[in-house]
Structure formats: C-alpha cells, structure tokens
Amino acid sequence: MMENPVLSRLEEDTERLSEMLFELGAIDAYVLPAGAAAGLIDAREKAFWMAKAAGADDIIDIVVPRAQIPLFMERVAALAGEYEAWIAGCGHAGDGNVHMGIFCSDSERRHRLLTELFAAGLALGGAISGEHGVGRAKKQFFNELVDPSKIALMRRIKAAFDPNGILNPEILFNTEDQL
C-alpha cells in the first residue's frame, strides 16, 4: 500500500514502482480504487479465521526472501500433491511471510509435510516463522532443521537478556539448556 498526501507525487511513485515491477518480471500492475485496499486488508485478515473455520489442521507462516516466493510456492504445490494435502494461502505474502492453512488429517503425514515445508523455506534463505514465532508448536522443527550454530547463538543471546529464564520459560529453550 502506498500513501502520499500529494496526489501528483503519489502518481509519480506509483508509475516508478510499476516500472520497477515490470523490470522484475511482473505481467501487470494496477492501482486499486479508493477504499479497495481496506477491503483487501480486511479479507486478508479474515482468511486466517476462514481457514480455521474450514477445519485447517495447522496454520503456519514461513518466511522466505520476497524474490524466492514464486519458487517457494512451486515447492508448496508439489509437496501438497506429494502428501495428498490441501494447502491454502490465508494471509499476506508481500513481505516474505507466507501464511498457509494446512489440511492434512493424517498426523504422521502432516508432520512430514511440515518438515519439508519448513526445510524448503530454510533452503531458500528463509526461516521457520516470520511473525508468529517458533514457540511450542514449531520447537521440534526448529531443533531438527535450524543450523546448530545459530541455535547456540540464540541461546547465548537469550541467556544474556534473560539470565534467570523468566521470559517464556521452557517455550523454545529448556531452562537448563539455556546457559
């Protein structure tokens, strides 16, 4: 979403952005009518709850560099077919955070699918989570897939800022492992 109180400057900014998008391979660029952006934001926010209401077995957010989103989405589609799952976008992806509702009722198959989805994001220079954090739900994937040297660094940072282990105790790092 672009904003500028001076209409002529907004039009210049929009034109410049459109040119950049075409240079990067965009096939179309357009400006939404006034008020339409708010509707898109509202729809994006409702998509999460719609995925939950539709029975999503999991909702995840994997972050990848924006330039890698098309390649990542190709991998997502391939994995959905391979694991006989339905994966629905349920949020925004513009900043690299790809939000997905995972419909795969078999828990073992879903676990393998999630492992491969997270690994695909990491392989493209991304992370297991961009906005929603790792926490309890993704702790096992984090420990299995993230470079141990990065985890060690995170533990040292956590210990430096939380030497008593009172901030989110036992959520990502076990207190005894923290130091």
pLDDT tens digits for range 67-94: 899 899 999 999 999 999 999 887 666 6
pLDDT at 65 over 60: yes
Distances in Å between the Cα of 117 and the Cα atoms of 11, 46, 145 are 39, 23, 11
Q: What is the mean pLDDT of residues 32-49?
A: 76
Distance separating alpha carbons of residues 51 and 97, to the nearest angstrom: 17
To 5 degrees, how large is the angle CA 59–CA 53–CA 122?
Answer: 10
Distance separating alpha carbons of residues 74 and 153, to the nearest angstrom: 32
pLDDT of residue 20: 84
Indicate the DSSP class of residue 126: -
pLDDT of residue 105: 95
pLDDT of residue 151: 94
On whether the pTM is more than 0.85, the answer is no
- Domains of the chain: residue spans and CATH: 52-178 (3.30.70.2740)
pLDDT of residue 179: 47
Query: Which has the higher per-residue pLDDT, 177 or 18?
Result: 18
Contacts of residue 121, defined as CB under 8 A and 6 or more positions apart, other chains included, come to 62, 63, 64, 72, 98, 127, 128
> What 3-state class would DSSP assign to 157?
helix
Amino acid 154 reads: M
Distance separating alpha carbons of residues 47 and 28, to the nearest angstrom: 24
Contact 158, 173 (CB under 8 A): yes
Of 65, 86, 66, 91, the closest CA to residue 76 belongs to 86
Query: Which has the higher per-residue pLDDT, 144 or 92?
Result: 144
